[in-house]
Structure 1
Amino acid sequence: MVNNVASTLLSCVDSELPVFASDVSYDIEESPKVQEIFGKIQSLMNIKVPRHLIRPISSRFIQMLDVATRLIECVDVLTVYYYGFLTEDERGNELIQ
């Protein structure tokens, strides 16, 4: 019941976060090779407790706090991982910002 009330009250909150979190989660967690790379990046960055991304569940609105918190905790590792996929122009622009 609390979940339904929270979902209704906060329905104006941008729905892009669950979609983004789901896409990133599937991208990282669905491939054993990518999971290994993600773990190695965490190790190289001296992260003591390796983190796994949390895949949002559409029926669990309250879970989005945990999902968003985990994304924030992993933002540096995700930045390092996805940096290799940027074009040269995007890399230059990213450094300027």
Structure 2
Amino acid sequence: MTDQDRARIIRCDDLLEADVNGEIVALHVEKGQCYGMNAVASRVWALLAEPTSPEQICAQLSSEFDVDAETCQTDVAALLADFESEGLIKPAA
């Protein structure tokens, strides 16, 4: 991970969201875009409610799911890249 990846991040507030059977469905009203998140992505989304880092997310997920550290880091980095490209996360102030 780069130093930029280690920065604390937080989710953006401009989405409407609902929990549907343990998974998040979110709507970005301005973009007219709907996002469906599986259970793991929903958990990451919940963790992003407060400023956090990819390392902290992986530590939490590793304690909750059966995943090795390398896989977790790779998958979380990819998910956060997706969230960033969609404008769903931002650097924490």
TM-score by length of 2: 0.31
More strand by share: 2
State the structure with bigger RCO (CA 8 A, min sep 6), 1 or 2. Answer: 2
The TM-score, its normalising length taken from structure 1, stands at 0.30
